[in-house]
Structure 1
Amino acid sequence: MSARDWLSISGQAALEVVAGPIFSETSDELGSARRALEWYPDDVWRYVLACDWIRVDQELPLMGRAADLGDDAGSRVIAARLVCSVMHMAFMVERRWPPYSKWFGTLFRTLAHADEVGLAIDSALRANNLAGRQLGIAAALEPLLRRQNALELTATTRATIPFWDRPYLHTDPVIIAQLLDGIVDPSVRALPRGRGSVDQRTENVDVLVDVNARRSAVAN
């Protein structure tokens, strides 16, 4: 499959093929499909992970800027989006397909880093102030970066750094650069920065359940 074919596969669509027991099979057709869809090719994996870090990088400072404007509701909404991106990143780091929203949190709790990451994101969601939200998101990213480093996808020690001279955080840009610099396949290197897989581009159910709509969503 092409890189864009891979990006058009939602986690739920993959799970509908690869998850669960096989009770009877008279050919290897299903087994072959399962092996083919087990996980992304390494370069596509790097790209999708980089897109998660980019998404977090873009919105983490905005959470603080909204709070400083007195928009606590807006800051909380951004915090919730960041938590969703961090949870998606946790699935990606562990090479696990994420399910649709009903089961997203349930399956997240089965991940190897669920306890540490989960405590941090729970604190971010419950925090009544910006400091608590920032610290929660930052703490959730640290074990994911350590796992990435252990997989030799990245080699840096800080998940977040100060946002220039402002009192906010953003992700260390070295992380994104190292993920993208490790991509060898020219077709993956040519993909637009930050747009990612269909799961990263939309939560619209009518798109995610329609294979042709998913392909259209990642066409550019």
Structure 2
Amino acid sequence: MLPEQKLLEWTRGRIFTDPIGEITEVRKTLAYLPDDIWRYKLKYAWSSFCHLYVVKLAELRGETLSARLLLNRMVEQAVQLVFLYNKRYRPGTYKWLSRELAQISPVVNEHVKQLEAILMEPSIAIAVQQLEGLLMKLAYQHNGLKITEFIELQPAPFYARGLQSYSYVNIEDAILATLPGELQHLEIPGALDQLITSDHVLIWADHYSKFRPVYSAKSDITRTGIGDMIV
């Protein structure tokens, strides 16, 4: 439930005095996410791209606004992956995103330029192609970190109708297999700051701590298929 913005606040800024080392010790503990939480957030971030084909599909049907909004959301998920793979906390406000990314490394700075180009690209089809190229680089980085067994991107499933080149489900599945059981079986996917963007919730501990029951509650409904989602 802890938003990365709060962890960023805890681990940044100059310490003027810490005579007993308490703040320094806490900073060491919070330097970055625990490994299993990091993997869990990676898994959820990849999950968005299984619907990348919908961007082109929306455009083909004349729903240009929907296509652009979806593309923007995919770019935001790619930004999240860049932060996660480089083990840097993601700021909670958009104002600081590009600056934080650019400071990570020259390679990430190139990613920033690519992401900006995707958002500015007039052609939806080219923008999707460029985004897939960036995702391929992130998959390569994934393999370099040896988080899971070697991942080779698979062709997109049949329902993508040729509007998406690759499937990213095998990356999700491989990451999921490395998680402890309690995270594998959470019914609500993703961390709180991956589900909620409201500053009113994420800035105040007395608000985001209220979501503990959401993660601990278990559904008493047995799912039988997609149809039960309607109910």
TM class by shorter chain equals 0.7 to 0.9
Which residue is 2:224 aligned to? Answer: none
**1:126-141 matched pairs, under 5 angstroms:** 126-141=120-135
- 1:80-101 CA deviation, whole Å, 9 max, x = no partner? 1111110011100111101122
2:59 is equivalent to residue 67 of structure 1: yes
- 1-structure distance, mates of 2:27, 2:133: 35
CA distance in 1, matches of 2:187, 2:134: 27
Task: Kindly indicate whether the alpha-carbon contact (under 8 Å) linking 1:55 and 1:85 is maintained by their aligned counterparts in 2.
Answer: yes
Larger Rg over CA atoms? 2
In the alignment, which of 27, 38, 41 is matched to residue 34 of structure 1?
27
Q: How far apart, CA to CA, are the structure 2 residues paired with 1:134 and 1:179?
A: 24
Distance 2:167 2:192 in 1: 23
For the pair 1:201 / 2:188, whether they are aligned, the reply is no
Which residue number corresponds to residue 24 of structure 1? 17
SS at match of 2:155: strand
TM-fit CA distance, 1:157: 2.8
Pair 1:108 & 2:107 matched: no
Corresponding residue SS for 1:53? helix
TM-score by length of 2: 0.83
**Where does the alignment leave 5 or more consecutive residues of structure 1 unmatched?**
1-7
SS at match of 2:158: coil
- The range that moved more, 65-74 or 81-90, is 65-74
Q: Aligned partners of 2:75 and 2:6: how far apart in 1?
A: 22
State the partner residue of 1:167. Answer: 162
Summarize the alignment of residues 51-90 of structure 1 with structure 2, pairs less than 5 Å apart.
51-58=44-51, 60-90=52-82
For residue 128 of structure 1, give the secondary structure of its aligned residue in structure 2. Answer: coil
The root-mean-square deviation of aligned C-alpha atoms, in Å, is: 1.8
Distance 2:152 2:103 in 1: 26
The total of aligned residue pairs comes to 209
Q: What amino acid is the match of 1:180?
A: L
Superposition deviation, residue 153 in structure 1: 1.2
Structure 2 residue corresponding to 1:190, chosen from 185, 189, 194: 185
The residue type equivalent to 1:54 in the other structure is S
Cα deviations across residues 144-184 of structure 1 (Å, max 9, x unaligned)? 111111111132132x733426121253211001101111x
Are positions 1:91 and 2:83 aligned together?
A: yes
1:84 and 1:97 map into 2 onto residues whose CA distance is 15
SS of residue paired to 1:111: coil
Amino acid in structure 1 at the alignment position of 2:2: I
CA 1:140–1:216: 2 relative to 1, 3 Å: farther
TM-score, with structure 1 as normaliser: 0.87
Q: Whole-Å Cα distance in 1 between the matches of residues 116 and 190 of structure 2?
A: 26
- Contact 1:56–1:86 (8 Å) recurs in 2: no
1:213 Cα deviation after fit = 2.2
Could you give the per-residue CA deviations for residues 41-77 of structure 1, whole angstroms, max 9, x where no partner exists? 211111110000002223x122112111111121111
Corresponding residue for residue 210 of structure 1:
204
Q: Distance in 1 between matches of 2:157 and 2:98?
A: 30
CA shift in 2, pair 1:97/1:206, >3 Å: same
Q: After superposition, give the CA deviation of every residue in 1:175-196 in whole Å (9 maximum; x if it has no partner).
A: 001101111x222222236x21
Measured in 1, the distance between the counterparts of 2:74 and 2:56 equals: 12
In the alignment, the residues of structure 2 paired with residue 119 and residue 161 of structure 1 have an alpha-carbon distance, to the nearest angstrom, of 27
User: Residues 161 and 171 of structure 1 are in contact (CA less than 8 Å); yes or no, is this contact kept in structure 2?
Assistant: yes
